[in-house]
Copies of this chain bind each other. A is one copy, B any other.
């Protein structure tokens, strides 16, 4: 998987959270290891399908970061991961994938986005079932941690 496939997803995540929730995420070192697994308390997942490519994107948030984003975006903090929080994570996932789709479309890589799915459950793990390279990038900010994982390659 090429770096030019990855950066649009990272840039899009950073932009969406900065613009929508005044939250500045700081990216950590990308991890290419096959047996690292993303953890989170609430995760947005979306499938990506193009004429010659397929893949998937997940964005996992620690509970305290998800609630802080909720507070900043909507002015309310429900104190737990309820339906409003899962809807917000689904919306963020859709926006991040949509932003990356626009950026990649300009480079000639076209793909469609499936319906986002949001998973919630304390410290669940996410495993992208894909033989090719998978890239995981941890993010930190003052309000908690997030991790994005992307696989995207030839179908």
Contact = CB atoms under 8 A, between A and B. Distances in A.
A49 B116 CA distance: 12
Interface centre among A48, A116, A119, A122 (most CB of B within 10 A): A119
B115 A56 contact: yes
A12 interface: no
Contacts of A111: 49
A49 B47 CA distance: 8
A114 interface: yes
Given A54-B112, A124-B124, A117 B49 contact: no
B54 A151 contact: no
Contact of A115 (B44, B113, B116, B129): B129
B124 A119 contact: yes
Interface string A86-103: 110011011000000000
A116 to B, nearest CB: 4
For the complex of A and B, 7 pairs with smallest distance between CB atoms:
A47-B47, A47-B114, A121-B124, A90-B129, A49-B49, A49-B112, A56-B115
